[in-house]
Amino acid sequence: MNGINSRRTYQLGEYYSDIRDRAYQILNKFFSYPGLITFNDDTQSVTFSTEKLIPHAATHRSRVMLLFSNPHPYSVYQGMFLSPDIRGREHPFWPLTRDAGWITISEPDPNPKRRAEICLQAKYQGPFELIFYCYYPFPTADPEEIRKIFGKEYFYRVIEPESKKEFFDTIEATSPHAVVAFNKGIFNRVSEDWIDRYIDALIEGKLIQSRLNGLSKDVPIFLTFPTGWRFHTQHGQFRKASLEAIKKAIFETL
C-alpha cells in the first residue's frame, strides 16, 4: 500500500454468498487487479483496497476537503484519486481544477503515484491544502453499485452508519475549513439542508451551500458538478465557473 491506499474488511456473515455473487457479476472486470477485492469463504468476509489522502505537511494554507462518493477501482489500482482512464487519458478533474485556480502541479504529466506523493506533501500551487476523501470506502465504477452489491439491509445497517461515523471522525481529526462535495447524495447525507434538483441551478451560476450537520463548529459544505458530468456542450465552462464561485465563497469566510 502506498501513502493513500489502505485495506479494509467487511464481515458479511449470512449475507456473504449473495454479496459475493453480485460482486462477481457487477465488478467482474476488476477482479484481475491484484489485491483490489478478495472474498474469503472461511471467514465470510470481503477485504478490499481503498483510498484517502490527507496531506502530511502543514503549509499554513486553509484546509479544504474534496468529498467524493467512493473510489473507482482503476484509480485505486493506479494509486491515486482520479487517475487516467484505461486508454491513458488524463482525468478532466486535473485540468479543470488547474484552470479554476485550485491546484497546479508544476511537474509535467506526473504518473498517478507521483501525483499522490505531490498531493501528500502539498507541493502544488493553489490557495488551499486539499484533502481527498471518499464517503464510502468500497471501490466501484458507479456509487449506485454499492447498494446493488451489498443489498439494502447490509448497506443501511452496516456500511452507511460506519461511513458516516468515519467521515465525521475525519472532519474532527483534520479540521477542514470547508468541504466541497461532488455528489448530491453524499451532500444530502452530511449537510443540514436537503438538495433535490441542482444541475440547472449550478448551470445558472447559483451557489449551493449548507453546513455539516451535527457539529459544534460551523463547517460550510458546497455542492458542485459530479466529476464525470459532461451532459452539456459547455460543461467545462460551467464546472470551472462553479469551482471559481466556491473558491471565492470560501475566501470570504477566512
Distance CA 178, CA 62 (A): 9
Distance CA 141, CA 73 (A): 7
* Phi, psi torsion values for 222, nearest 5 degrees: -115, 150
Class of residue 249 by CB neighbours under 10 A (exposed 0-12, middle 13-18, buried 19+) = middle
Mutual angle of helices 16-26 and 144-154, in 10-degree steps: 170
Report all structural domains of the chain as residue ranges with CATH numbers, in order of start. Answer: 50-253 (3.40.470.10)
Specify the residue for cell string 484481475: 32
Distance CA 144, CA 254 (A): 35
| The predicted structure's pLDDT at residue 198 | 95
| The predicted structure's pLDDT at residue 72 | 97
Extract the C-alpha cell encoding 239.
464546472
Q: Is the pTM of this model over 0.85?
A: yes
∠ CA 84-88-89, rounded to 5°: 70
Is the C-alpha dihedral spanning 197, 199, 201, 206 positive or negative?
Answer: positive
Q: Which residues does 51 contact at the CB level (< 8 Å), separation at least 6?
A: 4, 5, 6, 71, 75, 76, 80, 81, 132, 134
- Residue of 116, 107, 140 lying closest to 23 (CA atoms): 140
Distance CA 65, CA 63 (A): 7
Q: Which amino acid is at 239?
A: R
| The predicted structure's pLDDT at residue 230 | 77
| The predicted structure's pLDDT at residue 162 | 98
* 170 within 8 A of 57, measured Cβ to Cβ: no
* 65 within 8 A of 180, measured Cβ to Cβ: yes
Extract the C-alpha cell encoding 134.
471518499
Distance CA 146, CA 216 (A): 31
pLDDT along the chain (254 residues), means of 10: 87 98 97 96 98 91 97 97 92 96 94 96 97 98 96 98 97 97 97 95 96 94 91 87 98 89
DSSP 111-167: -HHHHHHHHHTT-SBSSEEEEEEESS-S--SSTHHHHHHHHHHHIIIIIHHHHHHHH
Extract the C-alpha cell encoding 46.
470481503
